[in-house]
Structure 1
């Protein structure tokens, strides 16, 4: 996957390069979307871990500030909001589909260090506790 992405980025750069080596707006947008896809893939692959934008930026060889601006532009939300939305969305999926899993286990799998903080954030987002959501979903 990494080799393919690198080759695609090289090809996009070559095709979109102008006289002084500048990228066309379409090439820049494609590059930003590919980079954001990498961020999203990293988040989902490491969902149960402590994730920071700085960690991802280091992995992708970007500055955290620059990467944060790209994520904001492409996704329409900052990295923290995206991370929380992704965690809660996956937690809601697990609550609906994996009835045998406990709420604490789901909290851990989605990167929350305590069931209480998970339940509080979940309730803020969905208006229900995780247990209420599970039984009503």
Structure 2
């Protein structure tokens, strides 16, 4: 293995270890052993690789998981989220959460301020998605004929920074409708790029598979369908917040070399394993490029 790839593999092991043990104490000795590196050099290598210290990375990873539990998992109590984040008392967690995101945990649960939340987590997301970006090749793509799937659709149009609020409403609707992800497939259909030239042009549909009539949630949920047919499918494991690199690979690299042509339906994904139910590096999504 080339030295650069060997270094990256060691750092990946460290990130996976951190995510598996976010609810436990983590120290420099332990992480340097995982990296097979001297503890006297490990923290500098980590900072040089990811652009932030080990301790800050751990704190941000814990706060990201805690914020997901607060916003999207109503069954998790604030006290339980605090303990899971490694805090012995809810008040210490509340102070740290407010310092990071500008809101108390209870306030964030009710009305998250998504733009400050995104800004606070940008160093973490940059470390994961930019510095440790995935590499795909043609062998990772399969061609699959998929059946048509009836779905309930909630559209998000406008600033992608506010997508979290739509996700909250979508989760609340599917829970009320009894459409649990274990028996109701989850899809995202992208009608725009992840970061269009104008935020107003951003458009994504959040979809849950259904077996019967759709119970409307105000005027937000409508009945629709993920059409059946041939698709190029690329499976992505780990840090599936940003699937744009996978979609770009299909369009830029795989499609021109394949001799295939696209069908008149946008690229979409199916979410299979979700954060925070599993650590972020174990999340799974499949990206579908519809073909003729």
The question of whether the paired residues in 2 share the 8 Å contact of 1:95 and 1:134 is answered with: yes
Q: C-alpha separation between the residues in 1 aligned to 2:13 and 2:101?
A: 28
Counterparts of 1:45-64 in structure 2, within 5 Å, are 45-64=20-39
Structure with greater proportional strand content:
2
- In structure 1, the partner of 2:53 is 78
Aligned equivalent of 2:41, options 49, 61, 66 = 66
- Asked whether the 8 Å contact 1:32–1:74 carries over to 2, the reply is no
What residue is the counterpart of 2:239 in the other structure? none
Instruction: Give the aligned partner of residue 111 of structure 1.
Output: 86
Q: Does 1:126 align with 2:104?
A: no
Structure 1: runs of 5 or more not aligned:
1-11, 13-26
- In the aligned structure 2, how far is the partner of 1:120 from the partner of 1:100? 22
Please say if residues 48 and 112 of structure 1, whose CA atoms lie closer than 8 Å, have aligned partners that are also in contact. Answer: no
Segment drifting more, 101-110 vs 119-128 = 101-110
Please give the alpha-carbon distance, in whole angstroms, between the structure 2 residues aligned to 1:40 and 1:88: 15
Which secondary structure does the structure 2 equivalent of 1:88 belong to? helix
Of 10, 17, 22 in structure 2, the residue corresponding to residue 42 of structure 1 is 17
Instruction: Calculate the TM-score normalised by the size of structure 2.
Output: 0.37
Please give the root-mean-square deviation of Cα atoms over the aligned residues, in Å: 1.3
Per the normalisation by structure 1, the TM-score is 0.76
Residues 38-93 of structure 1: CA distance to partner in whole angstroms, max 9, x if unpaired? 11111110111111121121344322222211110111001011010100011011
Bigger fraction of residues in helix: 1
